[in-house]
Structure formats: C-alpha cells, structure tokens
C-alpha cells in the first residue's frame, strides 16, 4: 500500500487536480490519497472567521469567494450529468459553514473550537470533490472522513494525536479493501467527537499517521517543487533538490522553516522505517527527495539551509539571575502556559541573561506574561523588564555530519560578516546537527544566498557590480565584462553581474543583472540620478558581494566611498581624489575596508592597468622595505614629450593628447604636475609613509602664467604664447642627446616631481608612447630595481585595470 498526499498547491485548480488524477491512476494500488484544502482556502477560511469575529460584514464576501472556488472546480472537473449530486452536498456543507460564521459574527468572537470547525471545511470539501471527480473519471475511489479515523485530545488548533487508538481505527477501516481511498488531511476529532485540526501544514502529518498505521511501503508527499531543496527554491535560485536525506536532517530542516514538510510528519514513519518521498505534481518525472534511514550517503556535511521568518528575541537579564536556580524553568513554564513555543535558546555562561526566539506574533503576549511572572524580581531591581526585539529571522545550517567537521560555523559567520549581515544571537543544537543564527528579516534573502553560495556552489561566486560613470573608461569596462563573462564563470567560478549603472544624469538598476548589450538604451530610459539615491538603491538591494565602481574624476563621488565600505560594499576606483586627499581620509578608508571586510582597490590610480600598486603591496606584505622609487608616471606627459619635436608648436601636441584620451579631462592637472604628484603620493603612502601633497616638491616646467590660467581655453592660449619656452626646453635637451621625461622620485621619505633631461642608456630613455615605468629599489632589490613598465594611460588599459581589481575583489 502507498499513501499519496497532495498539498494545497497540488489541488489549487481544476487543472492541478487533473494532474493528481494522472498520478494516482498510474500508481499501482491500493492507495490512500490524502488531500489538503484547495490552495489558499485555509487562509480564506481564517480570514472569514476573523472578519466575522470582529463583526466585519465583509466576511460574507469571503464566504462567497470560498463557495465560488469550489463550485467552479466542480463544474470544470465533473460531467454535467453528475454535477448536481456533488454540488448539492457541497452547498449543504457551505450552509453549515455560513451558520457557524454568522454565529461568530453575532457574538463577535470565535473560540479555538469554533475556528477548527470552520477551518475543517477546507479539507472536507476538497476531499469530497476530488473523490467524486476520480470516480467520474473512471477510478475506483471512495471517500472517507478522517475525523472517523484520527483521534486527538481537545487542544484545538494543534491537537495531539492518540496514536494507538488512531492506528486501530485506521487498520480496521482499511481491512475492507478498495483500490483508492480519498481522505481529508489536517482534520481529526477529539474523543467527544469534536472536530480538531493538527496545526497549519498538518495534512502531511495526517498522511504520515495513515502510512505508519498501515505499514505502507512508502509515503509520497506531492507538492509544487521537485523535492526538499538545499534551500527554499523560491528565495535561492541556485538551490537544488537533495536526492537522499536522513529523517533527522529532514526534521531539522523542516523545523527551521523548510515548509515543504510539516515537522511532526517524520516521527510516525521514522518509528517504523517507512521512507518519505517528496515529489512535484507538476513535474512527476523528477526523482524528488527520498527521506530514509540511510539518508546521508557519503556523510556529507551541510545538507541544507533554512530559515524561520518573523522571529522576536526575548531577553531576560539582571544580576538577580546569577546562580539562582529555577529562573529558566519559570520562564519556560510561563511561556508554555500561554501556549507560546520557543524556537531558539541561548544563555550566556555567566547566567546573566537568557535569550529566547519566539514567533513574532506572540511578542506582545510573551512580554506581558513574562513581566507579570517576574513582577517581584523586577520591582526589586534584580531582573530587568523583558527586552523584546522584533523584525528578526532565524537562519540555520543543517547536516548530520556537521559535528565531525571543524570550521563550519567559522565559515558561516565569516560569510555573513563579509556580506554585512549582522548576527544578533547564535545557537548550536546539542545534536550539533544545526547551527542557527538570528539576523534581521531584511537580510534573509542575502544571507541564504551567500551561505548557499559558500556551502553549495563553491565553484561559483556571484559579484554584483554597480558602476558610476560610463564614459570612456566605463563603457570599455562594460564591453570587456560582456566579452569575458562566460570565460570567468567557467574558469574562475566568478559570475559577474552588472546590477546598476549611472552617469551624472541617469541611473538604471536591474536586481537580476542587466543586459550589458543594451546598457546605453537602458540608461537613457533610466530614472534621474544623484549620488545619494544611487547609494540608497545599492544599499536597499542588499545583494551579496556588492561592488561599487567609480569611473569618474569627481570629488563628490570620491567622498562617498566611506558610506559604501560601511555597508561592506567593495569600492574599486580609478579616481585618484580619495587616495591623494588628506592622509587621514586615505587612512580611514583603508581602515573601513579592514573593519567591514570590504575590498578598497585603486590599482588604476597609478599607471592605469599596470600592476604597480599590487606589486608594491605584495612587496610590503611579504616583509620587504621600499628604499626608493624612480618613475615616469604620466602617460599623458610622456605622450606629449615623445611627440614634441619642436616642429609643431607645443600646445598642438597637448591638444592631440587630450583628443586621444591620454590626458585627464582637464589637461592642466597633467601639465602642472599635480597628477604625477598624486601618483607618487599614493605610492609613498602604500610604502608606509604618511605623506601629504604639500610635502612633495614640484619642479614645475610651465611658465607661471600657464600655471595660473583660469580655464582650459585660456590655458591653451598661454601655452601658445609661450611656444618659445617649450622649444628652448626641447632644444637644450637634444643638444646634450637627452630626452625630456617627467620624473617622479621618492627617496628617504621625501618625494619630488619635475621635468628631467634623460641621457641615452638610462632606463627611461627609450620609453615610448604613453608608457609608464616604475623602478622599485627595496631591501631585496637593492642594486637591480624591480621594474614595472608598459602602457600607462588610455581608456582601454584603465578599464582592464579596473577589471583586474574586480577579479581581485572576487578572490578576497
Ligand atoms: P503544499 O501546499 O504542497 O503543502 P507548501 O507550500 O506547504 O506546499 O510547501 C512547499 C513549499 O515549501 C515550496 O513551494 C517552497 O516554497 C517551500 N520551501 C521552503 N523551504 C524549502 C526547501 N528547503 N525545499 C523545498 N521547498 C521549500
Ligand atoms: N490546509 C491546511 C493549511 O493550509 C493544512 C495543509 O495544507 O497541510 O495549513
Ligand atoms: Mg504543506
């Protein structure tokens, strides 16, 4: 014999019910089919009852909706010639329901007993209709009211089953054979024959009771997902069905919120070793999940992640609790007397405080009851009034073999920490089969996804990227990412998603990752952008592994980095303003990056895509000491002096450099030496020196009137007016067979920049185009410096430098 249980989602519509018929008819009999109420009906019944009890006449409309759902179903499933008998019986039942609701409306209340009676109509109607439909479709099926088989106590709303008595009645009834018996789940009766229910989701439990009593070969739970997943598939897209799982693991997962199975279901079948199989009514060919004794083949560690939404944390603390026996007992008793169950417990070893997790709905009642129970101690100041915190949730890692492995909780908490998920309390079950943590409700989605990634998708890490600035550099970065996305996923396991883009006017977001090919159109149609709303949006999306990228040269954008880092959002920038700002600013950003475990990367601040800062960092981290640096760091000045032969006037070469994208948007920043000063300043700081801009000597080569030009146009005019000055500089150098290079130096803690005549044979002499070169003289590289050389300016290489920082951040 097999027991098949179809949940509310599997019987929500006529079409779904037809799918169950196909499953039942292809199962070799005999079978008992346990059904839930049509999906959503139990909620509607409760809504109707609550409206009636608060004397809201709107309950009538809800009742009509309930009626319509059932009648529609009958009309779609049963041939017209057979409908009237079924409709007649359903209408009679609905009349009884109406009378009950009317009663509640008139007296303005419901009791748990009345509530159970009203709610039971959900399963009563569905099972009756389904049995009739099966018959009309040619199946040999009968209907049996479960209230005549399952006996409980009279704890209405969540009654406890009398197992022996129930087993006897079930065995007795099934002695009379039938191919298919359809029974309502969820409902039962007390010894006095009053209708009771087994708790929300309780149809699974009814089915388990029948399976255990009849020693069925298997209990099949048919639902709307293909098994028990590694996490709720409605929240974690990457979750996948677990093939085999042990009873204990399944119980733990369901206890911690995996709604796919009602926790009490497992006990009756576990006792007699009947396997449970969870399968998908809408994908019957999928294997689903098998829950059985040897359910954890290979002893895998973490089997699933689940969560309980809507938790409140109740904390009782005070000096009067230390060493005083019986406080916890009183606390637990107090809560149990008012029917509040405790989901989570932690107690500090000092016994100074006890912290309990309970369902949010009970928070006000719990607070009031506990304060009353400890009234005396509170009035004496020995215990503080209860502290209650709502808006929380529990997440739990579950697995039988977790106790044999170290480092799981470390990995769990560091994963959460890296994603800025604040943990309010932690508990590890004595069975060590679960580690649970209380977090904010808003963080559940992020927490589940990042834990799932860490424990089940070790090979793929999703990076969620937000780009500010889509000009020269930004647009090339997008193009590079588009081309490389697939390769990165398959080779490095990094899944790059562009979630937000903005320029100074517009911004566009797509939480699922936008279509890079159309970024420009999407942005044009986007909402108006400003720095604050961009930040707020990134924060609100609250995605794991978020990265903010600054491709601008804007000071206001630079001043927003701290806010991102504080949300544990990585910051990657080619904008030099923050790192060359006051030392304190630079140092505090580095500190925030450490505190919030969020990478702050700015490789492109010096030498575009060349690995200059990374090399320097590696030297310093590996214990080397920087003695001096010699460098040509301005791709733009290099381009200018390489192309300037005193044939065409100087200003024209500068213009050409600007047009080809080799200069900063404002070329004065390059020619004044400020850009190079910023770069050597950053290198000095990364070498461990707390330098400021004013500590750097600037041997300017521009005549003062060029330096002082108030805007770019007048700057070009001044350059033109001083053409002779530049000609002279060039000629003097070439007469000595030297070339002009703009050099940055750092030596003994001092830095200087300026134009120099470089003789043939010097490392800098042959630098061409926009190349940069850096010579690091260190304790390890004393005589022969470590040299980094290559193209050091241009949008393409800058974009690729940012790209490299993205990958670095992915490996963080
Ligand atoms: P039914 O109406 O069939 O009883 P439920 O809604 O009670 O269905 O349970 C199925 C739902 O459980 C799924 O749709 C899914 O959203 C949820 N769920 C939560 N956690 C898990 C999990 N770990 N695996 C599968 N489903 C889960
Ligand atoms: N119909 C009941 C509920 O919605 C029982 C069940 O579906 O298992 O809670
Ligand atoms: Mg269910």
What pLDDT shows up at residue 458? 66
pLDDT digits (tens, 9 = 90+) for 244-256: 999 999 999 998 8
Kindly tell me if the per-residue pLDDT of 351 is higher than 80: no
What pLDDT shows up at residue 348? 66
Kindly tell me if the per-residue pLDDT of 726 is higher than 80: yes
What pLDDT shows up at residue 431? 66
What pLDDT shows up at residue 341? 86
pLDDT digits (tens, 9 = 90+) for 57-115: 999 999 999 999 999 999 999 999 999 999 999 999 999 999 999 999 999 999 999 99
Separation of alpha carbons 120 and 696, rounded Å: 82
Average pLDDT, the chain: 93
Which one of 3.40.50.960, 2.40.110.10, 3.90.320.10, 3.30.360.10 gives the CATH number of domain 612-793?
3.30.360.10
In degrees, to the nearest 5, what angle opens at C-alpha 136 toward C-alphas 131 and 137?
A: 100
756 lines ligand 1 (CB under 6 A): no
What pLDDT shows up at residue 793? 81
| Residues with a CB atom less than 6 Å from ligand 2 | 7-8, 36-37, 42, 122, 185-186, 200-204
Tokens coding 397:
């890692």
Separation of alpha carbons 209 and 187, rounded Å: 12
Tokens coding 186:
């969820």
Average pLDDT for 571-579:
96
Residue among 779, 774, 766, 771 nearest 739 (CA): 766
What pLDDT shows up at residue 429? 67
How many other CB atoms are there within 10 angstroms of residue 111's CB atom? Answer: 12
Q: Using only C-alpha atoms, what is the Rg of the chain?
A: 36
400 lines ligand 1 (CB under 6 A): no
pLDDT digits (tens, 9 = 90+) for 704-725: 999 899 999 999 999 999 999 9
Tokens coding 231:
């996490």
- Name the DSSP letter for residue 13: S
Determine how β-strand 570-573 pairs with β-strand 600-601.
Answer: parallel
What pLDDT shows up at residue 401? 81
Residue 388 CA, ligand 1 centroid: distance in Å: 30
Residue among 436, 438, 545, 451 nearest 235 (CA): 451
User: Phi, psi (5° rounding) for residue 138?
Assistant: 100, 0
Mutation probe of ligand 1 site: the residue of 23, 200, 232 with most atoms within 8 A of C-beta: 232
679 is catalytic: yes
What pLDDT shows up at residue 466? 98
pLDDT digits (tens, 9 = 90+) for 597-646: 899 999 999 999 999 999 999 999 999 999 999 999 998 898 899 899 88
Tokens coding 41:
């009906």
Separation of alpha carbons 636 and 793, rounded Å: 7
Separation of alpha carbons 390 and 15, rounded Å: 41
pLDDT digits (tens, 9 = 90+) for 263-283: 999 999 999 999 999 999 999
Kindly tell me if the per-residue pLDDT of 350 is higher than 70: no
In ligand 1, which atom is closest to the CA atom of 262? 7
CB 11 within 8 A of CB 42: no
What pLDDT shows up at residue 661? 78
% of the chain at pLDDT higher than 90:
81
Which residue puts its alpha carbon closest to atom 6 of ligand 2?
Answer: 201
List CB contacts of 88: < 8 A, sequence separation 6 or more.
none
In ligand 1, which atom is closest to the CA atom of 235? 16
Tokens coding 706:
């060029």
CB 607 within 8 A of CB 680: no
> Which CATH superfamily groups domain 304-407+421-443?
VC0802-like (3.30.2130.10)
pLDDT digits (tens, 9 = 90+) for 128-175: 999 999 999 999 999 999 999 999 999 998 999 999 999 999 999 999
Average pLDDT for 483-507:
93
Separation of alpha carbons 23 and 190, rounded Å: 33
Domain boundaries, the chain: 2-223, 304-407+421-443, 461-605, 612-793
749 torsion bin: left (phi>0), alpha (psi -120 to 50), beta (else): left
Tokens coding 61:
């409309």
Q: Does the domain made of 461-605 have the CATH classification 3.40.50.2300?
A: no
What pLDDT shows up at residue 194? 97
Regarding the domain delimited by 2-223, which CATH topology (the fold level of the hierarchy) does it fall under?
Answer: Carbamate kinase (3.40.1160)
Average pLDDT for 761-778:
91
Q: How far from each other are the two terminal CA atoms of the chain, in whole angstroms?
A: 55
């Amino acid at each position: 014999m097999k027991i098949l249980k179809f949940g509310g989602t599997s019987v929500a519509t006529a079409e779904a019910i037809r799918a169950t018929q196909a499953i039942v008819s292809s199962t070799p009999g005999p079978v008992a089919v346990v059904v839930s109420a049509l999906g959503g009906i139990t909620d509607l019944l409760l809504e109707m009852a609550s409206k009636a009890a608060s004397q809201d006449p709107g309950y009538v409309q809800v009742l009509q909706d309930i009626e319509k759902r059932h009648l529609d179903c009958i009309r779609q499933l049963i041939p017209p010639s057979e409908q009237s008998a079924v409709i007649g019986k359903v209408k009679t039942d609905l009349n009884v329901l109406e009378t009950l609701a009317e009663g509640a409306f008139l007296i303005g209340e419901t009791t748990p007993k009345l509530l159970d009676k009203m709610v039971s109509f959900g399963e009563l109607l569905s099972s009756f209709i389904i049995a009739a439909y099966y018959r009309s479709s040619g199946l040999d099926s009968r209907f049996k009211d479960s209230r005549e088989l399952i006996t409980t106590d009279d704890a209405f709303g969540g009654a406890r089953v009398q197992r022996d008595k129930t087993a006897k009645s079930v065995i007795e009834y099934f002695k009379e054979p039938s191919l298919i018996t359809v029974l309502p789940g969820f409902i039962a009766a007390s010894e006095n024959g009053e209708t009771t229910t087994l708790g929300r989701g309780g149809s699974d439990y009814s089915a388990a009771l029948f399976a255990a009593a009849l020693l069925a070969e298997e209990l099949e739970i048919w639902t709307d997902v293909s098994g028990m997943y590694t996490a709720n598939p409605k929240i974690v897209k990457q979750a996948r069905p677990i093939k085999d799982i042990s009873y204990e693991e399944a119980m733990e997962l369901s206890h911690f919120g995996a709604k796919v199975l009602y926790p009490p279901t497992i006990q009756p079948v576990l006792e007699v070793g009947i396997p449970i199989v969870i399968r998908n009514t809408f994908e019957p060919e999928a294997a689903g999940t098998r829950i059985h004794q040897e359910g954890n083949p290979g002893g895998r560690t973490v089997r699933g992640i689940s969560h309980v939404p809507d938790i409140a944390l109740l904390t009782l603390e005070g000096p009067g609790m230390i060493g005083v026996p019986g406080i916890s007992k009183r606390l637990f008793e107090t809560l149990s007397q008012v029917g509040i169950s405790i989901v989570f417990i932690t107690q500090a070893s000092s016994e100074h405080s006890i912290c309990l997790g309970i369902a949010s709905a009970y928070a006000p009642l719990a607070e009031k009851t506990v304060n009353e129970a400890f009234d005396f101690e509170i009035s004496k100041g020995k215990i503080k009034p209860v502290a209650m915190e709502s808006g929380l949730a529990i997440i739990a890692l579950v697995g039988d073999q977790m106790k044999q492995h170290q480092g799981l909780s470390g990995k769990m908490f560091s994963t959460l920490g890296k994603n800025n998920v604040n943990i309010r309390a932690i508990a590890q079950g004595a069975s060590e089969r679960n580690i649970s943590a209380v977090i904010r409700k808003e963080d559940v989605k992020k927490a589940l996804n990042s834990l799932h990634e860490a424990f089940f998708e070790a090979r793929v890490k999703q990076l969620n990227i937000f780009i500010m600035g889509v000009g020269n550099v930004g647009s090339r970065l997008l193009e590079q990412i588009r081309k490389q996305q697939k390769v990165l996923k398959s080779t490095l396991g990094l899944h790059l998603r562009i979630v937000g883009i903005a320029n100074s006017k517009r911004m566009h977001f797509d939480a699922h990752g936008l279509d890079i090919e159309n970024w420009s159109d999407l942005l044009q149609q986007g909402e108006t952008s400003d720095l604050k709303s961009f930040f707020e949006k990134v924060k609100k999306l609250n995605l794991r592994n978020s990265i903010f990228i600054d491709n601008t040269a804007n000071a206001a954008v630079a001043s927003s980095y701290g806010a991102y880092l504080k949300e544990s959002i990585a910051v990657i920038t080619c904008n030099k303003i923050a790192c060359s700002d006051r030392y304190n600013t630079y140092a505090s950003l580095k500190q925030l990056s450490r505190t919030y475990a969020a990478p702050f990367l700015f490789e492109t601040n010096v030498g575009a895509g060349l690995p200059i800062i990374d090399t320097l960092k590696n030297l310093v981290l590996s214990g080397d000491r920087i003695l001096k640096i010699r460098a040509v760091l301005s791709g733009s000045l290099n381009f200018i002096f390489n192309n300037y032969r005193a044939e065409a006037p100087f200003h024209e070469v500068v213009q050409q450099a600007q047009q080809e994208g080799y200069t900063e948007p404002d070329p004065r920043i390059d020619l004044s030496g400020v850009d190079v000063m910023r770069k050597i300043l950053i290198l000095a700081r990364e070498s461990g020196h707390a330098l400021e801009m004013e500590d750097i000597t600037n041997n300017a080569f521009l005549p003062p009137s060029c330096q002082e030009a108030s805007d770019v146009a007048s700057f070009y005019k001044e350059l033109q007016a001083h053409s002779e000055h530049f000609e002279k500089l060039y000629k003097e150098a070439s007469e000595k067979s030297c070339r002009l290079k703009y050099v940055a130096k750092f030596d003994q803690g001092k830095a200087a920049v300026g134009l120099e005549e470089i003789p043939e044979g010097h490392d800098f002499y042959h630098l061409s185009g926009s190349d940069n070169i850096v010579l690091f003289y260190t304790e390890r590289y004393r005589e022969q410096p470590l040299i980094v050389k290559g193209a050091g300016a241009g949008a393409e290489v800058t974009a690729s430098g940012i790209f490299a920082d993205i990958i670095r951040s992915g490996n963080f």
